[in-house]
Amino acid sequence: MSAPGSPAGSGPAGDGPAGKAAAGSGPAGGEPARAAYDPWAAILGRIDDAAALAGISADVHRMLRVPERVLEVAVPVRMDDGRVEVFTGWRVHHDTTRGPAKGGVRFHPGLNAPEVSALAADMTLKTAVVGIPFGGGKGGVRCDPSSLSSGELERLTRRYTFEVASMLGPDRDVPAPDVNTDERVMAWILDTIDMLHGGRSMPGVVTGKPLSVGGMRLHAGATASGVLRCVRAVFSELGIPLAGSRAVLQGFGKVGAPLAFLMSSGGMRLVAVGDAGGAVESAGGIDVGLLADHVRRAGTVAGFSGAHPLDPADLWSVPAEVAVPAALEGALDAPQALSLQAKVVVEAANGPTTPAGDSVLADRGVTVVPDILANAGGVTASYFEWAQGRQGYPWGEDLVASRLAGNMEEAFGGVWAKAASLGVSMRRAAGALALERVAEAMEVRGLFP
């Protein structure tokens, strides 16, 4: 079957899918400066296009162009040397018509309000695409976590949580890990919220927690697993054999690294990989285990002796069947899209393709599996963990794996069919499908008062 039509808009995504090579690292290999990319304008473009495709009412469209709530807070932290440093944090609810806000907490030195709002809006679309009962939220703190001690990081997390606590709750807003945050940070958020409620146990207030405090088995690798499901599905539709196919990967962090292992286990060859420190390539395939050992020692893929050095700017020009951006947003702009040699792009990162890059990929006939579908395994697993916490008993690994696979395959099939029926790209189809579901919920609920 031929690929669905050409893409139009682009924007950020993810319930914590974005990988990283090292904490606090800047843009990954070959990625343009973050300042050159306007994520809020990008997500508005996607919403506008999806609204037109889906034929939703002008009233609903107007409401979806404005976040429900944007909270900006000062986050004063006592540093180890005794001085007080003041950071800035945000929590945004884009739309909660379909359920509690859902979205990660990221710590990054380049974070700003428009980016957080865009990521929250993207979560509205993502949760709707995979059919889980959540709305869109996002949050974070502008900081460089690599420069903070463990004690400073904990104090920052707890003070940030205190400042945004009015926005959080199992039925209101459920955070999760994102860039530069992990299960340890989620445990601090959980404990802070519990203490603010008099020690009441509220396991459903956050997902991506350690197993010892109500986390879910297989959650950590769920985003990567969902990405691989999408690779398999799109290859099947396009008639591309998985075994022996070549992959280019940008990002070797908490999504990119497990994804590399999964692709290798599936018979794929990782021929090039880049991160914030550099890039390497090997036409015969990179040994993922050895690369992971090197990254643990060096903090970057650069310098790996089992592959040849590669200019990060040339990462996308390496011949491959699939390219997987798994770093920060804005990595595939027009120049990178022009140099891309892959036939398929599967977006594991938050909004890796800019609108300009999307237009180039469309003109070149490249099939793109969009972020709001491809990396939705993470938020789907978060939904399972939230349900587990509310039910009060743990889910087994077989149940998690089977339900994750079923949700991702059903979501892919729905988007592929929508793209075929509308004659548009998967990105545009995913946006239209998401807005149809959000608009239906808004229409049936009505407008208060």
3-state helix, strand, coil in the chain (%, to 5): 45, 15, 35
Q: Is 138 a catalytic residue?
A: yes
d(Cα 231, Cα 437) in Å, to the nearest integer? Answer: 25
Judge contact between 28 and 276, C-beta under 8 A.
yes
Question: Token digits for 342?
Answer: 């892959």
Judge contact between 374 and 347, C-beta under 8 A.
yes
d(Cα 303, Cα 124) in Å, to the nearest integer? Answer: 40
Judge contact between 394 and 400, C-beta under 8 A.
no
**Token pair 């008993």 is at which residue?**
393
Q: What is the DSSP letter of 424?
A: S
* Backbone phi and psi for residue 305, each to the nearest 5 degrees, phi listed first: -75, -15
183: enclosing H helix or E strand: helix 183-196
> Among residues 20, 102, 126, 138, which one is catalytic?
138
Query: For the residues of 16-34, what is the DSSP string, one character each?
Result: S----SSTT--S-TTPPPG
Contacts of residue 293, defined as CB under 8 A and 6 or more positions apart, other chains included, come to none
Contacts of residue 177, defined as CB under 8 A and 6 or more positions apart, other chains included, come to 16, 104, 105, 183, 185, 186, 208, 254
Q: What is the DSSP letter of 203?
A: G
3-state secondary structure of 324: strand
C-alpha to C-alpha distances, 136 to 18, 52, 118, 271, nearest whole angstrom: 17, 21, 10, 35
Sheet containing strand 246-250, edge to edge, reads 308-310, 278-281, 269-275, 246-250, 322-325, 344-346, 367-369
d(Cα 143, Cα 151) in Å, to the nearest integer? Answer: 15
Among the listed residues 150, 186, 8, the one whose alpha carbon sits nearest the alpha carbon of residue 77: 150
Judge contact between 126 and 114, C-beta under 8 A.
no
**Active site amino acids:** 138
